[in-house]
């Protein structure tokens, strides 16, 4: 319960801090989408994801001047929620389209130990801190508004346990609004 409260507090702080952001974004995601990168952790629900991206960081021009971002994801069924941050790049593809890869670190509130009653395998995420790679395909709808179809993955990449790394994939749509 304490973890859930901490996640909700971080989620609220992302919302409250959006006035300082370059872009505010939010979307709705299917939770635990089956892909080759994961196996079933037996969670369900829909995720509400909110975040913001700062201006491009010119000090990081040696890696393409990415935009630092903060993200919070709250699960509708009380399953794994998370919050964290990372770097994303917007790569133009034509006049109004783009691809947006990103890489971050998140802290989640899922169980520290969970074993499937069906398979007998561990289905917890193996570490409290997880990598959060993501990719989106976006289209500019106006000067300030964009729509992105995105995939977000959380896992520890088998760094903390070579035998156990289920991960969770989420896929959904998000709107991004440029503040300045």
Confidence of residue 76 (pLDDT cuts 50, 70, 90): very high
**In angstroms, rounded to a whole number, what is the distance separating the alpha carbons of residues 35 and 47?**
17
**Residues sharing a CB contact under 8 Å with residue 57, sequence separation 6 or more, in sequence order:** 65, 66, 67, 68, 87
Cβ atoms 50, 26 nearer than 8 A = yes
SS3 (DSSP) at 145: strand
Confidence of residue 20 (pLDDT cuts 50, 70, 90): very low
What does pTM read for this prediction? 0.85
Domains annotated on the chain, with CATH: 2-178 (2.40.160.20)
Cβ atoms 67, 90 nearer than 8 A = yes
pLDDT digits (tens, 9 = 90+) for 94-137: 999 999 999 999 999 999 888 888 888 888 888 899 999 999 99
**Is a pLDDT exceeding 70 seen at residue 19?**
no
Q: In the numeric block, which tokens belong to residue 146? A: 């964009």
pLDDT digits (tens, 9 = 90+) for 84-97: 999 999 999 999 99
Cβ atoms 7, 109 nearer than 8 A = yes
SS3 (DSSP) at 147: strand
pLDDT > 70 fraction of the chain, expressed in percent and rounded? 87
């Amino acid at each position: 319960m304490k973890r859930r409260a901490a996640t909700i507090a971080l989620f609220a702080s992302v919302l409250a801090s959006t006035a300082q952001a370059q872009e505010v974004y939010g979307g709705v995601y299917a939770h635990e989408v089956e892909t080759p990168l994961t196996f079933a952790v037996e969670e369900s629900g829909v995720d509400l994801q909110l975040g913001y991206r700062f201006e491009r960081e010119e000090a990081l021009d040696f890696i393409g001047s990415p935009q630092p971002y903060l993200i919070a994801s709250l699960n509708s069924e009380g399953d794994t929620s998370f919050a964290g941050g990372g770097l994303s790049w917007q790569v133009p593809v034509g006049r109004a389209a783009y691809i947006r890869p990103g890489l971050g670190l998140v802290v989640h509130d899922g169980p520290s130990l969970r074993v499937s009653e069906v398979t007998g395998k561990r289905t917890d995420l193996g570490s409290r801190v997880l990598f959060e790679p993501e990719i989106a395909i976006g289209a500019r709808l106006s000067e300030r508004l964009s729509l992105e179809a995105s995939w977000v993955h959380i896992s520890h990449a088998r760094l903390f346990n070579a035998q156990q790394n289920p991960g969770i994939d989420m896929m959904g749509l998000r709107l991004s609004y440029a503040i300045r």
